[in-house]
Amino acid sequence: MAEHIILPMTFSAVFSRRRIALRAACGLLLSLWLADAARADLLVYPTRLVFEDNARAAQLDLNNNGNETATYRITVINRRMTDTGSFVEIDKPQPGELFADEMIRFSPRQVVLAPGATQTVRVSVRRPADLPQGEYRSHLHFERVPEASGGSNVEVAARPGELGVQLRMLVGVTIPVIVRQGATSATVSLSGLELSRRAAERMPTLAFVLNRAGNRSVYGDLGATFTPRGGTEQQVGKAAGVAVYTPNPLRRGRLELQLPPGLVLSRGTLRLSYRDRPEAGGKLLAEAVLPIP
């Protein structure tokens, strides 16, 4: 799935000799951050591009799902996945990290989309003649360009004894672009299943570890089922588009379970499976079970 991120915000503050209510100001910034983060007006399809050994060209469709005309700048960035599935932007590769940024070409590099409008972006790959075998990955980043009028800013004028805030926060979208060269393969397994039923949680959650080995990433869907002793198997949770990228050996996660009315997780078996995406055939890749007393 597409990766929604919050772009860096600009922040300026004017202080006086009087003490400032920093806690209130931080609360304001947090509420603004949450409100803006909830809006992702740019839709990108497909949400990932994979260039197999002989593939050279593909295209993306962009759609402005918002109510305002927006300008988006498109760039290639390199990102690292952490073992919890989040991403950090990086400049230099660590051992085992292979980037595709120097191979990726795309057009246009900036688009202006009216509300409801669509735009096609053409993406191609140019592999060097001596490219070593393996999987290379970078990300296409779609950054919303701030309006010249500053209409996307939140401004609070500074008065004596108060905090002046200028906040600019834009929602961006990134998608992975994967280039595979030569023979690539991966194996995957599930481990570390642990059920949590904390009172503060709306539903029980299932912790897991997705283990990967090989020279390519894995990408699939998670599904959880529960079978009461002597009863029928029922689906209790799912998550689509879960990836573990190279060179990461594992990804830790928590799946919130959705229990059908009347179902109690007691005296049965909880099963977690990881399958290829339906468009890739839906093959079972890994499975683990957790007995529930």
The CATH number for 23's domain is: 2.60.40.10
Residues 82 and 214 in one domain: no
What integer pLDDT is reported at residue 193 of this predicted model? 98
What integer pLDDT is reported at residue 273 of this predicted model? 98
Domain end position, chosen among 181, 209, 238 = 181
Residues 36 and 147 in one domain: yes
Residues 190 and 153 in one domain: no
What integer pLDDT is reported at residue 13 of this predicted model? 36
Torsion of CA 188, 177, 83, 185, to 10 degrees: 20
Instruction: Find the domain containing 130 and state its range.
Output: 3-181
**Strand-pair category, 57-64 with 42-45:** antiparallel
209 half-sphere exposure, CB direction, 13 A CA radius: 8
Cα separation values, 128 from 102, 125, 132, Å = 10, 10, 9
H/E run at residue 27: helix 22-37
What integer pLDDT is reported at residue 38 of this predicted model? 36
What integer pLDDT is reported at residue 148 of this predicted model? 67
Domain end position, chosen among 166, 181, 196 = 181
The answer for residues whose C-beta is within 8 angstroms of residue 123's C-beta and 6 or more apart is: 49, 57, 58, 59, 60, 104, 105, 106, 140, 177
Strand order in 57-64's β-sheet?
A: 42-45, 57-64, 118-125, 104-107
- With 0-12 CB in 10 A as exposed, 13-18 as middle and 19+ as buried, what is 83? middle
Residues 139 and 224 in one domain: no
DSSP 95-163: TT----TTTEEEE-SEEEE-TT-EEEEEEEE---TTPPSEEEEEEEEEEEPPPTT-TTEEEE---TTS-
DSSP state of 280: G
What integer pLDDT is reported at residue 119 of this predicted model? 97
Q: pLDDT tens across 29-51, in order? A: 343 333 343 346 899 999 999 99
Mean pLDDT by runs of 10 across the 293 residues of the chain is 42 37 40 41 95 95 94 96 92 88 97 97 96 97 81 47 49 92 97 86 90 97 96 95 96 94 92 96 97 95
Residues 65 and 117 in one domain: yes
Residues 47 and 87 in one domain: yes
User: Residue 230: how many CB atoms within 10 A of its CB?
Assistant: 7
DSSP state of 58: E
Residues 54 and 133 in one domain: yes
Domain end position, chosen among 181, 202, 221 = 181
What integer pLDDT is reported at residue 262 of this predicted model? 87
Residues 196 and 287 in one domain: yes
Q: pLDDT tens across 87-125, in order? A: 998 878 888 899 999 999 999 999 999 999 999 999 999
Whole-angstrom Cα distance, residue 168 to residue 249? 37
Place of tokens 């949590």: 196
- Buried b / exposed e over 213-225, threshold 16 CB at 10 Å, is eebbbbbbbbbbb
Residues 100 and 149 in one domain: yes
Residues 210 and 103 in one domain: no
- Is there a contact between 127 and 179 (Cβ–Cβ < 8 Å)? yes
Residues 163 and 197 in one domain: no
Structure tokens that stand for 251 in this block: 């990804």
Residues 137 and 274 in one domain: no
How many domains does one find in the chain?
A: 2
